[in-house]
Structure 1
Amino acid sequence: MNKKVRVLVFPCGSENAAEIHQALRYSLHVELFGASSVDDHGRFRFERYTGGLPKISDPQFDAVFSRLLTDLDIDMVFATHDTVLDYLATRAQQMGVALVNGAPESAAIARRKSETYRLFADSTWTPRVFSSVEEVSDWPIIVKPDLGQGGQGVTLVHTPQQAREVLKNTDHPILVEYLPGDEITVDCFSDRKRRLVWAGPRTRERVRAGITMRSRLLKLTPEIDGIAREINNRVRMRGPWFFQLKADRNGQWKLLEISCRVAGTMVAQRAAGINLPLMAVQDFLERDLIALPSPHVTLVERNIATRASLDFEYDTVFVDLDDTLILNGFAVPQTMAFLYQSLAAGKKINLITRHKFDVAQTLANARIDIGLFDRIIVVADGESKADHMTPTSIFIDNHFPERMDVAKRLPIPVLDVDMVEFFIR
């Protein structure tokens, strides 16, 4: 297959969608698309974005989604929500696309904890499930929704009365044993031959809204490897998937859940050289895979990234030199990233400066190629930078008086260096 694989991420505004985007955006093998049913962060992230799709509960969804797949000539779909994956799994073949980890039976088992626990009821690492409150003799226990994810709706209950109250307010509840120990996630990859190519445990040290913000990569123990292989043997997987374990009172690992989708903090594996979404594309191309992890990466920290919409049509970027493009003798990374992004979008890049020294030599000292710029304008003292700009420009300068002067003279965006990051995809 010589053409690029056309990959759609749906819905594309979530954290795990962000990881798929970052994992595939520079691949030579991929042309990447995003789509969502709600207006979300995906439209800032995906250059090829389609919004306003019906939700999967809408009777029109199948027809609209099928038409989108045809119009975009999509080969592969990454579903980023468990319910969406479960829904599309029964329809992907008819729609003519490969749904990553989209075996219908597997998606259904992974989506429902009751089905997961039933399938592995004979395994020592499956938690005890209670059919009723009366069956419980050792408190506390956990009540959680059968179709939950990310710890949502999980409640620790200490008495039969409390359990009954929680059961009334939980959709499709299940009762399971309380596991007080550490919790880990194991990121996995299975190929088209059902080989378990990768299993990588990681900690969940700081969690916000179900998203792991700090994760430490762990060694794969025989116990965890055995659990991964048993799941892989019984559930048909193809692509990235993960499962979560928690230790019981005796320190033995017990299963919390299995998921057939990419997890947002699979970024920890990618940081160590294991690009699981890209491996799915390579497997789609029927290439045999070998994992090559780096032993030098053991910890990842995550934070919230903010993007903004610049509601202004422009064809030229004017950028200052001192302390904007170059700071302390070195190029400012986020300014450079924005300039290269603008260049790729067909914008002209003009350097405008009051620099007192040889501009070409200063750029060379900072290892910045002078060919990046369409024009280099050296402005004299007393002269306004605005005199060299057009109404279809934007202006980046760290110096407030310069921005104020331009803003008074022209109705164009004026950006400080700290603002640039909001517009980098």
Structure 2
Amino acid sequence: MQKNVLVFPCGSEIGLEINNALKFVKGLKIYGGSSVSDHGKFTFKNYIEGIPYVADEQFIPTLNQIIEEYKIDYIFPAHDSVVLALAQNKEKLNAEVITSSKEACEICRSKKKTYEYFEGEPFIPHMYGNQTEVQEFPVFLKPDVGQGSQGIALAKNRDELEFHLSKPNNLLILEYLPGKEYTIDCFTDRHGELKFSGMRERRRIKSGISVNSVTLKMEHPVREIAEIINQKLKPYGMWFFQVKEASDGTYKLLEIAPRIAGTMSLYRNKGINFALLSLYDRMGFDVDVIENNFSLEVDRALINRFSADISYDKVYLDFDDTITLNGKINPFIMMFIYQCVTKEIEIVLITKHIYDIRETLRKLKIDSSIFSEIIHIKQEDEKHKYFDVDKSAIFIDDSHSERKKIKEKFGIPVFDIDAIESLIDWRN
């Protein structure tokens, strides 16, 4: 039986990771929801825009309308503020929210509440009550409620401390932790058992997001922290926490979050699909965790997604140095070809290949039936003679002169290989 899942807000790094984790799962239909136009519309096939912000009084009523209209079974919150808002309004919603209890979410949303809740544990960093208590510098300042390293500061002396505290940011004064920073991705099942915890180093951070991270062998003291958090806070489903090394080498807690982390993609590619595990557990299945035994590094950067204002039902496609790359298959163009096959877009192969084109296709293990027609012409012949542009068509060829002739003759869109990325549809 199909289950419908809403991800909101879908354009966040968290939402994009949830989509990547679930988009190929049989029996799930994924919807992306957003308050404003964002990257989600380029990656979610089922996209819903204009949902009110969480502080809007119409947020819950509108969400329930969406739940009813699209028959949503589960909601994945994909932002810290949304996590809290949905956790606090679970009883008002007609779909199940995939996060921890309201109490756990309220504790995790506040750094101060988190540190007070675990007061007495050796992994809690020292928190100063006020600036007069500070006798040693530097000290670290961060907002009680926040995300993405926004509003943080390092005060190296009392003047800097007073300057930062003069701003209305509700900053906490904490001991300075000079060491490396780690994230521990966790999954706790409905029985309260911590089924998995995986440690990764946050090697490079941009705007609070770990853009380079690598899996590590779990350190015993960090595993103990995970067990204590699990036992006391009782998180449910996927969650993570962050620690940093103090000057004495011990690990101190930075924060806990009862949600997916964008860089959980790292352990997902080792076999731990946190979003799917959380869903299956909610459905009442007893899940097993299988982790592949290798180290994995992820590096993230901006990626292009395009929306081209064209439609076409036929593609004229060159072969040499287009389908092939240095004599081998170009895997990126094959991705586009199979996208066309899936969308039932006609593909015409037109080539001046000097050998038997069907034999070459066979050697490259490309099924010739992919193409509705194979037009094999001589070197001195002109490709435009074989075009039928009664249908809307596009032309792809690595040759500038060939593209120029076709553009001048028919006025249809023409593409070099570097522009194929604008034709890829990433929505699932």
How would you bin the TM-score normalised by the shorter chain? Answer: over 0.9
How far apart are 1:248 and its partner, in Å? Answer: 0.8
Distance 1:265 1:360, change over 3 A: same
Q: Provide Cα deviations, 1:299-344, integer angstroms capped at 9, x if missing partner.
A: 2222221111111122223222111112233221111112222322
Residue 182 of structure 2: aligned partner: 184
Paired residues in the alignment total 423
Residue 300 of structure 1: aligned partner: 298
Helix, strand or coil at the partner of 1:280: helix
Helix, strand or coil at the partner of 2:173: strand
Q: Is residue 385–residue 406 contact of structure 1 (8 Å, CA) maintained in 2? A: no
Greater shift, 195-204 or 144-153, is seen at: 144-153
Residue 160 of structure 2: aligned partner: 162
Question: What is the 5 A alignment of 1:17-416?
Answer: 17-380=15-378, 381-384=381-384, 387-390=387-390, 392-416=392-416
Distance 1:162 1:412, change over 3 A: same
Distance 1:203 1:233, change over 3 A: same
Separation in structure 2 between the aligned mates of residue 411 and residue 275 of structure 1, nearest angstrom:
47
How far apart are 1:376 and its partner, in Å? Answer: 2.2
Distance 1:92 1:114, change over 3 A: same
Q: Is residue 153–residue 170 contact of structure 1 (8 Å, CA) maintained in 2? A: no
Q: Is residue 11–residue 34 contact of structure 1 (8 Å, CA) maintained in 2? A: yes
Structure 2 residue ranges without an equivalent (≥5):
none
Separation in structure 2 between the aligned mates of residue 92 and residue 372 of structure 1, nearest angstrom:
49
Separation in structure 2 between the aligned mates of residue 229 and residue 29 of structure 1, nearest angstrom:
33
Distance 1:49 1:346, change over 3 A: farther
Q: Provide Cα deviations, 1:24-81, integer angstroms capped at 9, x if missing partner.
A: 1111132111111111111111111112222222232222222112111111111111
Structure 1 residue ranges without an equivalent (≥5):
none
Greater shift, 215-224 or 323-332, is seen at: 323-332
Q: Provide Cα deviations, 1:146-184, integer angstroms capped at 9, x if missing partner.
A: 111122211001223322221232422211111111110
Distance 1:330 1:145, change over 3 A: same
> Counterpart of 1:108 in structure 2: which amino acid?
E
Q: Is residue 313–residue 391 contact of structure 2 (8 Å, CA) maintained in 1? A: no
Q: Is residue 142–residue 173 contact of structure 2 (8 Å, CA) maintained in 1? A: yes
Separation in structure 2 between the aligned mates of residue 394 and residue 208 of structure 1, nearest angstrom:
39
Q: How does the TM-score come out when normalised to structure 1?
A: 0.95
Q: Is residue 186–residue 199 contact of structure 1 (8 Å, CA) maintained in 2? A: yes
Q: Provide Cα deviations, 1:214-254, integer angstroms capped at 9, x if missing partner.
A: 21111112211110111111223222111000011101100
How far apart are 1:385 and its partner, in Å? Answer: 6.3
Distance 1:194 1:385, change over 3 A: farther
Distance 1:4 1:140, change over 3 A: same
Q: Provide Cα deviations, 1:52-111, integer angstroms capped at 9, x if missing partner.
A: 222222232222222112111111111111011111112233212121114211111111
Distance 1:390 1:331, change over 3 A: farther
Distance 1:29 1:122, change over 3 A: farther
Helix, strand or coil at the partner of 2:334: helix
RMSD of the TM alignment (CA)?
1.8
Q: How does the TM-score come out when normalised to structure 2?
A: 0.94
> Counterpart of 2:382 in structure 1: which amino acid?
G
Q: Is residue 199–residue 218 contact of structure 2 (8 Å, CA) maintained in 1? A: yes
Helix, strand or coil at the partner of 1:116: helix
Separation in structure 2 between the aligned mates of residue 355 and residue 73 of structure 1, nearest angstrom:
53
> Counterpart of 1:409 in structure 2: which amino acid?
K
Separation in structure 1 between the aligned mates of residue 63 and residue 403 of structure 2, nearest angstrom:
46
Separation in structure 1 between the aligned mates of residue 135 and residue 147 of structure 2, nearest angstrom:
27
> Counterpart of 1:405 in structure 2: which amino acid?
K
Helix, strand or coil at the partner of 1:418: helix
